[in-house]
Chains A and B, each alone.
Chain A
Amino acid sequence: AQTVTQSQPEMSVQEAETVTLSCTYDTSESNYYLFWYKQPPSRQMILVIRQEAYKQQNATENRFSVNFQKAAKSFSLKISDSQLGDTAMYFCAFMKPNYGGATNKLIFGTGTLLAVQP
């Protein structure tokens, strides 16, 4: 069974600085997908960034980028130029691709609460 681990329950960063959130996972699959979701105080789940395991290039979305290390099963999120609106809970998630009966369910880590300080 797949598991996702986020070892940092809370983190803090000054506005305009850079912060990295850690995520490791365990799977025997060779092809899969990884995601970072943001959950602000409104509790809405917002997709931040997505990575396909078969792609070597790290995904980037504006100020958000990932460091995907497949052999180490590590998937960290880097937020550059942190803004007050980035304050939220961040969840790392794993998904098996839809073949062989897999149902595309997301497996989430326990989250990292990020506070951006002014």
Chain B
Amino acid sequence: NAGVMQNPRHLVRRRGQEARLRCSPMKGHSHVYWYRQLPEEGLKFMVYLQKENIIDESGMPKERFSAEFPKEGPSILRIQQVVRGDSAAYFCASSLPRSGTLTYEQYFGPGTRLTVT
């Protein structure tokens, strides 16, 4: 049973380019979360998606960042016109809603380390 997959593991972009980060949740999981870890800091919530819907994007920067989780295929975090401050590790987590529980355990992928030069 494969875990959460993220690719690429490492991504280098020049300032002004676009970065696309992909996340394939665990089999059967329909909820995806994206977190960002800046150097020397903890993870910070960015966005929460269910299939074809953005549920909570309160942690997403207002400009240049977008996320989607289509009916088919992986979830994508897209960063347009990257700047040096976007250099960070981006983690995806997935969860499977279970009836009768009020919290859904999140399983993390290995992360994508984005470096902007």
Contacts and interface: CB of A to CB of B under 8 A. Distances in A.
A108 B35 CA distance: 10
B29 to A, nearest CB: 13
Interface residues of B, number: 26
Interface in A94-118: 95, 97-99, 103-111
B103 A97 contact: yes
- Where chain A touches its partner, the secondary structure class is loop
Given A43-B110, A44-B108, A104-B95, A98 B103 contact: yes
Given A105-B56, A106-B35, A98 B44 contact: no
B41 A110 contact: yes
B42 A111 contact: yes
A28 interface: no
Nearest to B101: A98
Contacts of A62: none
A95 B93 CA distance: 14
A33 B103 contact: yes
Contacts of B93: 45, 106
Interface residues of A, number: 25
A107 B93 CA distance: 13
A59 to B, nearest CB: 13
B2 interface: no
Interface string B25-57: 000000101010000011111001000000110
Contact of B43 (A42, A47, A104, A106): A106
A104 B47 CA distance: 11
A4 B110 CA distance: 23
Give the 7 A-B residue pairs with the shortest CB-CB distance, closest first: A97-B102, A108-B42, A45-B108, A103-B56, A105-B45, A103-B48, A108-B43
Interface of B: 31, 33, 35, 41-45, 48, 55-56, 59, 89, 91, 93, 95, 102-108, 110-111, 113
Given A42-B110, A104-B104, A111-B42, 18 more contacts: A4-B42, A37-B108, A44-B110, A44-B111, A46-B108, A47-B105, A91-B42, A97-B102, A103-B48, A103-B55, A104-B31, A104-B103, A105-B33, A105-B59, A106-B43, A106-B106, A108-B43, A110-B41
